[in-house]
Structure formats: structure tokens, C-alpha cells
Amino acid sequence: MATPTPAADLPSRPLTILSEEEEMFRDAVGQFAREQIQPHVRAMDEESKFRPDILKQMFGLGLMSIEIPEELGGQGGTFFQSVLAIEEIAKVDPAAAVIVDVQNTLVINALLRWGTEEQKRRWLPRMARDTVASYALSEAGSGSDAFALTTRAVQVGDEWRLTGRKLWITNAAEAGLFLVFANANPEQGYKGITCFVVERGAKGFTVGRKEDKLGIRASSTCELILDDCVVPAADVLGEVGKGYKIAIETLNEGRIAIGGQMVGLAQGALDHALAYARERKQFGKPIAEFQGVQFDLAEMATGIEAARLLTYNAARLREAGRPFLTEAAMAKYYASQVAEDVASRAVEVLGGVGFTKDYPVEKLYRDAKIGRIYEGTSHMQRLTIAKQILR
């Protein structure tokens, strides 16, 4: 079987305009992903385990602390840079990208916005140095209806006791720190939801079964078991009863990052398809010279650039402090559609070998499906968009 030219040898050059600093940052992250992550992607996928040495390198490069201020050990970067990093890594491995995503756009952002100065000094340097963090909102009966959660929080003196189960929690196998959402006052409905910062070694806290997934298999997804879990009152994030606000606002931002992940995945699939189309010959010439293949590649590239522009626009709006709810929903919804379509077409461009695990597009096709599910399903994004444009 012929080995194709690696897509890494044919780096994509998106049309979107970036600053010189952003271009340098993007290229550095892309080089790291190709040189350090790409050789291990297949093995990590098959073993459903992310390599600790790569995780250590991501910490060393500051990819796990992009927006943490420099005085707290981070990079002092921007939200837009987080999105760029997620996109570049996703070109090589969307599983690695979601590890960076949850750390930066969900947990770090929540701590930066709602943490006290003492909480920031306590936890952010650890997250910059070596501590993976996780975001625990979902439950068996609480997915799209995020505020139907049944995990309970009861205050006992200067401590809280949390009881319940969380499901589908990203980064849970590696995490040392968890943002856990529980209801401290069920009679008040969603207004009782509170966010707690829970240490991995907390009494009554257990990381349970790891899910065996279709895609992004190197990214751990586990259940959390809270059995009268003890959390100091000082570890409430924000205020008691404000957890719903923290969840809504962080997830709105996180959806932009998922858009970046899906754009990167789609670009990676297209890069592999382009490389193969230039080399694969049928009827005496490369298949890239056949108009049917050219049209497929052209449509794939156009969809990716449109999704990238939607995603970048949402990220720029967020950084400018302007409303971005609709744009974030559009970016997440459209980019996840494009990723699934482009990955599917890439498999078809490669033909029979694209259907095998010997070529990366098979994995990217499996990885793409989650984009339409997590951090708000496509149905929920359409509802959000419709509500906003009908106001």
C-alpha cells in the first residue's frame, strides 16, 4: 500500500487575516502538534489514553494556561489565541484539542471571572504548572436541559456536602480540579444551582467509569460519584445560587472554542484529501485533475472558510466585550455541520483506504460526530439562533 505525502508537509494557509503575533502563535502551535502529537495519534486513539508526556509538554508550552495572567504563572494571552490553539491542535488530533479547550475556555475563564483573589492565587498557578481541570455539569437526566440536575448540596457548618452523579465529564481521568455544579436550594429551581471547586482527593469524591466512545477517544470522559463529598465553604465559586449564571456564560464562550475545534478537524481532513488527490492516479493521471474531485475539494474548502469566519467573528466579539450569543451559536452549529460533511467527503476522496485505520481521515470522521452533541446540541443552537433573530 502506497504511503501518501503527510498533510503536515502541505500546511494550509487560511485566507482569514490575523495579526503578525497571532500568525506566529498559530504557526508555533501547529508545528508542535505536527511534530509532537501527530506521531502518537493513532496509538492514543486505539488505547483510549492520552500520553502523559504530551500533556506535560502542553503545560510547558503554556497551552494549558493561555489566558492566565503572567504573574500567576500563565501566558497572559487572549481568548482568541485559545481558539487558534484549539483549531491548530484539532487539525492533528481533536481529542488533544478538547483537553486544551476545557482547561482554557471553560475552567480558567470561570475562575478568572468569578473567583476571588484568594481563589485565583490558589488554583490558577497550579493549572498553569501541571494541574488539569474538568467541568462537571451534565447528569443522566440533565443534558440539553442543563438545569434539571439532581446533584444536591447541603451546608453543614463551614462545609458543604455534595451528593449525586455526574456523567460525560471531559478530562476527568487526568483532572486534579473540578468545577462541580449542584443545587443548594432545589425549591428555587435553577436559582439554587451553585458552582463548587472540588479537589480530586476530597472526601466522598470518586472518579468512576470511563466511557468507551466512538470518537475523540484519547480524551477521557468519565462519571463522577459524589457521596456526601466534603467541600469547604471557601471553595464556592461566585455566590451560592449563581451557578446557573456561571454555567450559561462559560458554555456560551465554550461554544466558540468548539467551533474552532470543528474548523481545525475539517481543515485537517481537507489537507489529507488534498495530499491524497495529488498523488493517487487513476486512468493515467492524479485524481485531483478530475473535475468531480475538484468540485468536492472546492466545496469542502469553502465550507471550512465560512465556518472559520463565523468562529473568528464570535471570538472577536467576545474579546471586544460586545454581545456574541447568537454568533457563538451560529459558529458552533455551522462548524460542526461542516466538520462532519468535510470528514465524510475526505473519506470518499481517499476511497477504500479512507475507510481503513491506516489513514487518518477515518478517525477524523468518527471524531466529527461529537461536535453536534456536546456543549449544546445542534437542535439547541438552532433554538438559540431562532429566539435571538425573532426578538
Q: Which residues are catalytic?
A: 375
Tell me the three state secondary structure of residue 155. strand
Residue 305 corresponds to which cell in the numbers above?
472558510
Copy the grid coordinates of residue 75: 501566558
What CA–CA distance (Å, rounded) separates 337 from 277? 23
Strand partners, 155: 160
Residue recorded with cell 456523567: 167
Going from the C-alpha of 117 to that of each of 72, 112, 120, 307, the distances in angstroms are 11, 9, 5, 37
Strand partners, 180: 136, 196
- Using DSSP's 3-state secondary structure scheme, residue 387 falls into helix
Q: What span, in angstroms and rounded, lies between the C-alpha atoms of 292 and 287?
A: 9
Q: What stretch of H or E contains 250?
A: helix 243-279
Helix or strand (DSSP H, E) at 245: helix 243-279
Instruction: Name the nearest CA neighbour of 54 among 99, 24, 9.
Output: 99
Residue type, 221: T
Q: Per the structure block, which three cell numbers stand in for 175?
A: 483532572
Exposure string (b/e) for 83-112, b if CB count within 10 Å is 16 or more?
A: bbbbbbbbbbbbbbbbbbbbbbbbbbbbbe
CA atoms of 193 and 182, how far apart (whole Å):
5
Asked whether 106 and 180 are in contact (CB, 8 A), the reply is no
Grid look-up 437542535 returns: 379
DSSP string over 77-115: --HHHHHHHHHHHHHH-HHHHHHHHIIIIIIIHHHHHH-
The CA distance from 157 to 152, in Å, is 16
